[in-house]
Amino acid sequence: MSTTLKVYVNEDDALLFWSIPQPIPGCRGFAIERKRRVANQPEERAFLNNRTGFENEKVAAQPKKDQPAVLKPSTEWPFQRFSWTDHDANTGDSVSYRVVPVLRDSAGKLVLDEGNASPFSDEKILGNAPDARFAPFFNRGFVISQFMSRFLAENGLDFNSKTDMTKFKKELGKKETQIRQFLSGDLRIALLDLLESAHKDGGEVFGALFEVSDDELIEALAKLGERAHIVLANGSITAAKGERSAAARKRDENEEARATLRAAGVDVTRKDRFISPGALGHNKFLVITDKNGKPAMVWTGSTNWATTGLCTQVNNGLLIRDPAVAKIYRKQWQRLFDAKSGFDGLAEANSTPKPAGDDVIVWFTRASGSTDLEALQAEVKNAKEGILFLMFMPGSAGLFSTVAARSGDPSLYVRGVATELPNGQADPSVADINLVDGANHTPIQFDMIQAQGLKNPMARFVAEVTRNQFVANIGHAIIHSKVIVIDPFSDNPVVIAGSHNYSTTASTKNDENFIIIKGDRDLAEAYAVNVMGAFAHYRWRAFVGKTKKPFNGLRDNDTWQAPKLKAEANELRFWGV
């Protein structure tokens, strides 16, 4: 009776799912052993650490020297679960894993059950292929986390203090700070590399951007001078009491960045795409041409060019190396440029799909008749195996309602995270009931989690910044990605990404874009790993916030297996174990 293991990766994480045919007598959990090769370094082989110990331990464990938290190898503190995300794996690492049951023997000692261990998985390399047509990049914007709570404490910062949080945000804006580099991850590096390559190769860039305020990105864009052409919106403006919308639209949240870029010779107008309030120039795309001016690549995704977008929100970026797709986005840039701060002809032009071959369709908004939402709904309705998603403010009348309807299919696996629940926390029709009552663990058809942090310390976990503290002292949009992955392990996986919030407002009012990509298994896997990393991160916090019986550690018996195997049967099947 061996353990079955599957491993999935993207450019920053490795996601493991495993299963056993039936409960193992005496099993206290599983140890995870990793083999890792880093460039020009000998292979490392070690068991992953766990931060959760047994609830009945009499002597409190203490952190080792230079260890930020109490950690022990999973041979001593095993994982009482059937999935794990290895966030310690990094871009370029070559990794392989095996999972070993950990038993309590008759003498009371923990021993490895090698007879039921999985073999080492096939070696996988984290990262995108150098010539990948579609290359996704992700940040690590989990400010509601154990890591960040410990970081703030170590640096004498209080997440209840607006003064301290202002200081923290200023540190994030300094390009040399380690915490900025960690939170922004490969997303920031990829975007900077893209701008630098355009600068060196003599190409031009054509961007349509919603928010630009990060000094490092502004500096990189300014280096291109007159070879950079930017349609820069005026951000998100709210009219003051008694102020007319027309007057409010004269204000500019990007005023400082606009002035800096203009001073550097960047082609950005003073007043065009001033459409807020009333609409948002919400795009975040960049077209890169070759030295002859022909469109060659596109950058799109959910990331605003702001420090918050890079560091304190969960975001993604997608680099597309396809001249046909780049040409589509270049034409849209021209439409936006010609429209100035109006919408003449845009809705009509945007109301039809823009295909690039048989496997790619690009959509822009605003559109007439909700044709963009109809295209999104058609993809969701066609799902055969599963739907994974990250959404920001999808609204109850947009695509979310279609996803919610599909969640009623017991054969369909649906998982997702959004910053806010469309109908509020009290609506059980759009929440995972297992997280609401914290008792009966029944098979899950649909989980929709509102990002929330731990309010109080417990079981070796420190208190975290809560959502209310985040909004009050840092800002909105904890989950800011807009991603849908459909049937990722089928012969025809679908990935949808861009700036579009999948809402009616995004469809009928805003400047937006999204791209539908079919048949790319590597891309689907990468986004699936990213979605599940966010899902797992907040799922447990949602459970702890709702249950009346807080989690106090691992059970020192083998009774945890049967209910967990039963409850997670659908999930384990979906992930191939």
Cβ atoms of 491 and 429 within 8 Å: the answer is no
At 33-89, the pLDDT tens digits run 999 999 888 999 999 999 889 988 865 655 555 555 678 999 999 999 999 999 999
Confidence of residue 315 (pLDDT cuts 50, 70, 90): very high
- Answer whether 0.85 is exceeded by the pTM: yes
Please state the rounded mean pLDDT for residues 442-450.
33
Listing DSSP states for 103-117 in one string gives EE-TTS-EEE-GGGP
Please state the rounded mean pLDDT for residues 173-185.
89
Domain(s) labelled CATH 2.60.40.10 in the chain stretch across: 4-127
At 92-110, the pLDDT tens digits run 999 999 999 999 999 999 9
Q: Which fold has domain 4-127?
A: Immunoglobulin-like (2.60.40)
386-391/413-418 β-pairing: parallel
Distance from C-alpha of 315 to C-alpha of 137, rounded to nearest angstrom: 9
Residue 19, pLDDT above cutoff 60: yes
According to the model, what pLDDT value does residue 432 have? 29
Distance from C-alpha of 372 to C-alpha of 394, rounded to nearest angstrom: 14
At 511-523, the pLDDT tens digits run 999 999 999 999 9
Cβ atoms of 302 and 499 within 8 Å: the answer is yes
Domain(s) labelled CATH 3.30.870.10 in the chain stretch across: 134-541
Cβ atoms of 51 and 70 within 8 Å: the answer is yes
Confidence of residue 536 (pLDDT cuts 50, 70, 90): confident
According to the model, what pLDDT value does residue 404 have? 80
According to the model, what pLDDT value does residue 190 have? 98
Cβ atoms of 574 and 531 within 8 Å: the answer is no
Per cent of the chain over pLDDT 90 is: 69
Residue 545, pLDDT above cutoff 70: no
Q: How many Cα atoms within 13 Å fall on the side-chain side of residue 342?
A: 4
Q: Which of 475, 478, 428 is nearest to 448 (CA)?
A: 428
At 457-510, the pLDDT tens digits run 444 443 444 545 545 555 544 789 999 999 999 999 999 999 999 999 999 999
The encoded tokens of residue 330 equal 């270049």
CATH class of 134-541: alpha beta
At 209-261, the pLDDT tens digits run 999 999 999 999 999 999 999 999 999 999 999 999 999 999 999 999 999 99
H or E element that contains 523:
helix 521-546
Please state the rounded mean pLDDT for residues 527-549.
77
Q: What is the mean pLDDT of the chain?
A: 86
